Structure 1
Amino acid sequence: MGMLGNTFDIEQIEVHKGPQSSVFGSNAIAGLISLRSKPITDNFQSGFSISLGDDSHKAVKGFQNIKISNFLKVRYIIDYNYRDGFRNNILNGMIDSNRKKELFSRLKVEFHPIDQVRILGTYINANLDNRYDVWSPDNNEQFETYTDSLGEDSQKTQGFSLRSKMKINEDFNLLFISTRSNTQLVHAYDGDWANDSYWLDEHQFDPDSTGYNYSFYEKNKRSRHNDSQELRLSFKNLVTGFYFNNLSEKDDAIGYLFGGLGDQADGRYDFKAYAGYFQIHHNVAKKLKVMFNYRLEKNMYKYVGNTYDNYYGDDLPLVNYESENTMMGYKGSLLYALSDNSNSYFSYAKGFKAGGVNQEPNLNEFERIFDPEFLTNIEIGIKTIMNNFGYVINAFFGNRNNQQVTISKQRNVGDPNSFYFYTANSTSGYIRGLEMDLNYILGSNFTFQSTFGILDTYVENFEYELIENVKTRAGDRETAMAPKYTASFGLKFEKMDYYFLTSASYKSKYYYSDSHNKRSSAYTLTNITIGKKIKDFNLNFWVRNIFDVKYTIRGFYFGLIPEEDYPNQLFESYGNPRHFGITLDYGL
């Protein structure tokens, strides 16, 4: 679904740590976050949430749950969010050039004609009408941008799922899951991040002297269709099933493409996945439970792409590639009850991440494909829950084989639109760490929560071609986007119908990319919420990033500035500044 991650009317957020490929497939090599929406109930329910804030923020959310009859129930939600996007486009005089304007709705219908049959249909509709304008050539911290061509990062999705569950007898159940979705994506950006006046005033680049404008723009449209079918059988302590997925995508692009080698491109990507799996658990003793699951999956993919030069007529060669991979994942785990309040666990698992095709037309043959990655992981931990106290301590170690890395290259000096990414495989690496969660109730008014994590990652040396026929070595360090230390702290105070919440999260520095050694800075963000409950209403005032910390979230290292030799330098984008508002909830 791309950008979708709506959390309104969500009952539970489940974090599955470690390889989960044996259950969820190739997208869960190192873990998975699962969002479970609230179920349809037998009672009439309704509620809403209204928010207003700075940056022109406004949000309206609502739900209704209706029991039509004893065998038919409906639940519907709608969620609208808007904000300007915290950017000030100097050239166009716009404060919404990076706006977020998102509308999401979900309809769930449950049909329960007899006790043995339960059918749940879910329909979603998303319209994310977002713009994109976050980069500046001067790296300013005032959130000022200079683009003359507005960017876009939009998505329209319609999706449907049908879950049909049949109870054959007390021990045997059948579940059939069918899904379908259609998504339209648009991503457009100003490749030079500025305009003629800026380049002339700040860097003396004069189009009248050079004979051309330092201006690059690209727009990509994608149409994606996805179907999946799954049959699951459960008998006592055994679950087995079969899964099929068919995805097709059509891409169209216009602009200054691939360093000016084309101005129009189109492509088609087809992907199929077949999988079989099973899971079994057994209570070996009163305090000891054993579980094992296994998945065998085959992926088949094909890509065909054309690039056209409508100005000179020099079209690029056709890209036509297809391949397939067969992958295996499993997980064995032991759960031992130390006491009525405490459990220990141990697991040994293997996960996988699918290979694929890089669509960039000028890649060498050995860069065209990337192979599957495999992660073998050992995890051990302890979990304790008491009346006013709870904690989880978890340690893990994983070996990554054929590790996938993201490479960034700039084909032509002086051409920011020749800067591109592709996926490659290094040799191997590892990931190991320690995580601790603590929850503590202090008396009748205070609740304390904290988390702490240590993450040690490593990717071995690997080679890639930075420019034609010139090999460059990378790796032999930590993996990109993997901070070594993370921590969070939360405190909630409740008295009468009033409450106060504060939370702080810390993230240490991390590498931006696998292909250069530039890092972010460490940062801590602090949020507060003050509120009052009035019967079924809840009114609160909130502030995000209350200390207005300037922190970076992404970094590119390449030659952009039109000066002699176009020197490489680091360009960074910043996370959101201080943001505040007020929210009124009813029936939530």
Structure 2
Amino acid sequence: MFNSKPSYFTASPTLSLTRAPLALAIAVALSTPAFAQTEALDKSDPDKDMEIMVVTADFRGASLEKMPSSITVIDAQKIQDESAQHFEDLLNSIANVNWSGGSSRPKYFQIRGVGEQEQYQGAPNSSVGYIIDDIDLSGIGMVSSMYDLQQVEVLRGPQGTRYGANALAGLIYLKSNDPTDVFEHGAEVSLGDDDLRTFSGFSSGPVTDSGKLLYRVSLQQHQQNGYRDNLFLGRDDTNNRDEFSGRVKLRWYATDDLQLDLTVLHADFDNGYDVWSLTNSPKQTTSDEPGVDSQRTTGAGFKVTYSGAELFELTSLTSFANTDHHYSYDGDWSNSAYWAAKQCTDDGIQFSSCQYDYFWDKTGQRKTLSQEFRLSSTEQGRIFAESTDWLLGVYAMNLQEDNQLYSEYNTFADEVLDSEYEATNYALFGQLDTDLGSQYALSVGLRLEQRNSHYSDTNQDDFDPSETMWGGHIALSKMLNDSHNAYLRVARGYKAGGFNMTLPVELNDKKEFDTETLYNYEIGLKSHWLAGLVDTNLALFYMDRQDQQVAASLQDPNKPQRFILFTENAGSSNNYGAELDATWYATDNLQLYSSLGWLETAYGNYQYQDKYGTDVDLTGRDLAHSPHFTYSLGGTYRANSGWFTNLNLSGKSDFYYSDSNDSRSEPYTIVNARVGYEASTWSAYLWGRNLFDEEYGVRGFYFGNEPDSGWAEKQYIRYGDPRQLGVTVNVKFM
């Protein structure tokens, strides 16, 4: 069986096993006779439990195979098998999902080509929702430790019925493990190069003898230097990661009909930000004022479930989050000594040395408070001859964010801006799920949402936009037989319009931009093959974006260190493509899995003027951060003796970095591995990420940042994490 596979792994020169001893050891382990002679898993055996993935982001917690939508669920076992410490470690393995590397950890995501690349000013307005245990962190999702998680869910396409304006492109939902009614405890330590130190632990069990009050506590402290050597300062920690994550969950079975769940989350990510180099070095910088990228978030979610009524169940969701964030960077990407040794030209006059020193700094405070009430039918409450489940809900959210922006150019204050922003959303939503007979099912959902917002700043900008939006879905599914479920889905999503602050007079016509709407047409097939040995989820989609919002930027020709940032609407555009997730339970001991994403994107009718006033036409060009292909392939082998091996690879084709220029990435493939031994109460692993030390870009710019060249435009690249090796030991006990 697997003995026929080594040719796949050695076909590409980039995967040559001679380049990494760890990869060679893994390949030898995978090619042993014992690996090939394990017995096949008979998933059709009724005595064997089939794994059922439940999508917890859905209203009713439906199984993945019955959800009429393109969804990827990554469970706790895969998170552990791939040694994922942060959501960043999983991102490359999710089909048609990308991220922008303009921060120390990913917090700007793109699903099917739709999403933000950065946010340098206030007034947050996300295309991709990001929620941790029902706490909305859209736009600030960098605090996403993978420790003690039950699963990660990625819902592609508009989630207009369930999540509204923050989920135009889709939703990323992180679900942590719930409290248990028996005592469970565990601890984990990871050590590695780049001075990696990660200490984690959890405890779960009953608080009272009656078992009606349960708790779970999980903590993690992660530290590493950040893979950059600052040659000017002589330090290797200017890009450091210092990340604490803590979570407390309580579950109280107050009565037989009333369940209360409280989640308290605290994350303190105090990271450096020193990743850019004038020479595009992936591991060395020369900044004299390294930046920071810190976020401190305290959030709480309170869920009440009442099931005492005969015809319906009542659910109340209350969430709160308070975040302080700080983002800064050395804008000249070097130091005064470097520039003093350069000759600069200004207005035709040549100077013997350059004076160039630029630093950008923003702090912000964000608070969100949301409340949702929903009624959902019980089995006795179904309508239309007991064929239809119904759901009705109301939702309100208030978001407040204050920002303080300060930038300094050649020791003088260049830009000072204090701003206040507030948005309040009210929504009414409902959903009907009908059994039509003959194995057909119909789901119809609708959401009406009112958004009121206010913005003001010290530059006398003042906006009070409000709008009413709507979205929803219609999905028809058909169980073709016990092994295949086909569906057709049409969904409408929306993203609120807004405004551009601090624009120069000549751009006054761009002060405001309109709401974007997205129609998503999708057909899919969810299947079990070979008596359940192979599971596949296939989706084909076509997206019609109307009044597409485009993030543009112009370098100020009079002040080259400054950029003018604004959002505007392009004409309608179309994206289309496919996603495939597949899992093969090859034997009792061996599981193989893969994903493949295909994506075609294009701008609608869109032209802009560059800093010299030249017209640039992007009509029909690929969208930024939208690779045509994303792919992953992995395998996990667990021997009966306790030995464990995981090998996985993931990659992307090339893509444009920006909406405002034609700078592109290079295609890349990253290989990771993990080997170890697993006993009943302890385990130990040796692991490696990016084994072949692939240099891959995760963010890029094309502009002038070197006065000695007359501010000539050039491509600058921020690279992803290089190779890292480490060990992990964990223990669990009752």
TM over 0.5: yes
Q: 1:580 aligns with which of 711, 719, 725?
A: 725
* CA displacement at 1:276 relative to structure 2: 0.7
Task: Please name the residue that 2:664 is paired with.
Answer: 519
| 1:92 is aligned to 2:236 | no
Task: Please name the residue that 1:312 is paired with.
Answer: none
Please give the per-residue CA displacement for 1:308-366, whole angstroms capped at 9, x wherever unaligned: xxxxxxxxx41111211221111111121111121111101111122223334437233
| 1:248 is aligned to 2:393 | no
Distance 2:564 2:143 in 1: 25
Aligned 8 A contact 1:183 1:223 in 2: yes
Task: Please name the residue that 2:713 is paired with.
Answer: 568
| 1:16 is aligned to 2:155 | yes
| 1:449 is aligned to 2:593 | yes
| 1:217 is aligned to 2:356 | no
| 1:44 is aligned to 2:44 | no
**AA of the residue aligned to 2:660:** S
Q: 1:484 aligns with which of 628, 634, 659?
A: 628
Deviates further, 238-247 or 355-364: 355-364
Task: Please name the residue that 1:432 is paired with.
Answer: 576
| 1:144 is aligned to 2:284 | yes
What count of residue pairs does the alignment treat as equivalent?
575
* CA displacement at 1:270 relative to structure 2: 0.9
Matches within 5 A, 1:181-220: 181-201=321-341, 213-220=355-362
Secondary structure at 1:442 match in 2:
coil
| 1:179 is aligned to 2:319 | yes
Distance 1:343 1:256, change over 3 A: same
Q: Which has the higher strand share?
A: 1
Q: 2:449 aligns with which of 261, 278, 297?
A: 297
| 1:74 is aligned to 2:226 | no
Q: 1:544 aligns with which of 680, 689, 710?
A: 689
* CA displacement at 1:444 relative to structure 2: 3.2
Aligned 8 A contact 2:340 2:354 in 1: no
* CA displacement at 1:470 relative to structure 2: 6.0
Deviates further, 239-248 or 468-477: 468-477
* CA displacement at 1:134 relative to structure 2: 0.5
Task: Please name the residue that 1:357 is paired with.
Answer: 499
Secondary structure at 1:566 match in 2:
coil
Distance 1:89 1:297 in 2: 49
Q: 1:374 aligns with which of 505, 508, 517?
A: 517
Matches within 5 A, 1:298-447: 298-306=450-458, 317-362=459-504, 364-385=507-528, 386-412=531-557, 415-416=560-561, 418-447=562-591
Aligned 8 A contact 1:433 1:456 in 2: yes
**AA of the residue aligned to 1:442:** A
* CA displacement at 1:474 relative to structure 2: 2.7
Secondary structure at 2:509 match in 1:
helix
* CA displacement at 1:466 relative to structure 2: 3.1
* CA displacement at 1:220 relative to structure 2: 0.8
Q: 1:464 aligns with which of 605, 608, 612?
A: 608
Deviates further, 437-446 or 272-281: 437-446
Distance 1:337 1:203 in 2: 72
**AA of the residue aligned to 1:407:** A
Distance 1:480 1:94 in 2: 34
* CA displacement at 1:305 relative to structure 2: 1.2
Aligned 8 A contact 1:301 1:356 in 2: no
Distance 1:35 1:446 in 2: 27
**AA of the residue aligned to 1:441:** Y
Q: 2:270 aligns with which of 129, 132, 136?
A: 129
Please give the per-residue CA displacement for 1:163-211, whole angstroms capped at 9, x wherever unaligned: 11212323211111111111111111111111112223466699x9579
Distance 1:378 1:258 in 2: 52
Aligned 8 A contact 1:397 1:431 in 2: yes
* CA displacement at 1:67 relative to structure 2: 0.6
Aligned 8 A contact 2:486 2:526 in 1: yes
**AA of the residue aligned to 2:626:** A
When the two structures are superposed, what TM-score results if normalisation uses the length of structure 2? 0.75
| 1:163 is aligned to 2:315 | no
Please give the per-residue CA displacement for 1:255-296, whole angstroms capped at 9, x wherever unaligned: 328997844321101111111100110111141111111111
Task: Please name the residue that 2:638 is paired with.
Answer: 494
* CA displacement at 1:222 relative to structure 2: 0.4
| 1:287 is aligned to 2:439 | yes
Q: Which runs of 5+ in 2 are unaligned?
A: 1-136, 382-388
**AA of the residue aligned to 2:324:** Q
| 1:268 is aligned to 2:426 | no
Distance 1:373 1:379, change over 3 A: same
Distance 1:432 1:91 in 2: 47
Deviates further, 229-238 or 570-579: 229-238
Secondary structure at 1:22 match in 2:
coil
| 1:154 is aligned to 2:294 | yes
Please give the per-residue CA displacement for 1:10-48, whole angstroms capped at 9, x wherever unaligned: 112222122112211112112212111111121111112
Task: Please name the residue that 1:557 is paired with.
Answer: 702
CA root-mean-square deviation: 2.2
Aligned 8 A contact 1:458 1:479 in 2: yes
| 1:474 is aligned to 2:612 | no
Distance 1:448 1:211 in 2: 60
Percent identity over the alignment? 31
Distance 1:257 1:352 in 2: 39
Distance 2:428 2:146 in 1: 31
Aligned 8 A contact 2:407 2:413 in 1: no
Distance 1:194 1:107, change over 3 A: same
Aligned 8 A contact 2:258 2:308 in 1: no
Aligned 8 A contact 1:533 1:539 in 2: yes
Which of 1 and 2 has higher RCO (CA within 8 Å, sep 6+)? Answer: 2
* CA displacement at 1:464 relative to structure 2: 3.0
* CA displacement at 1:251 relative to structure 2: 1.1
Secondary structure at 1:246 match in 2:
strand
Distance 1:258 1:195 in 2: 11
Distance 1:485 1:24, change over 3 A: same
Distance 1:72 1:494, change over 3 A: closer
Q: 1:7 aligns with which of 142, 146, 155?
A: 146
Aligned 8 A contact 1:48 1:62 in 2: yes
**AA of the residue aligned to 2:461:** V
Distance 1:223 1:326 in 2: 27
Distance 1:195 1:443, change over 3 A: same
Distance 1:330 1:44 in 2: 43
Distance 1:325 1:210 in 2: 56
Task: Please name the residue that 2:115 is paired with.
Answer: none
Deviates further, 10-19 or 398-407: 10-19
Please give the per-residue CA displacement for 1:220-270, whole angstroms capped at 9, x wherever unaligned: 110111111111111241111111111111111223289978443211011
Distance 1:170 1:182 in 2: 38
**AA of the residue aligned to 1:542:** W
| 1:32 is aligned to 2:184 | no
Aligned 8 A contact 1:257 1:264 in 2: no
Distance 1:517 1:402, change over 3 A: same
Aligned 8 A contact 1:414 1:561 in 2: no
Secondary structure at 2:338 match in 1:
helix
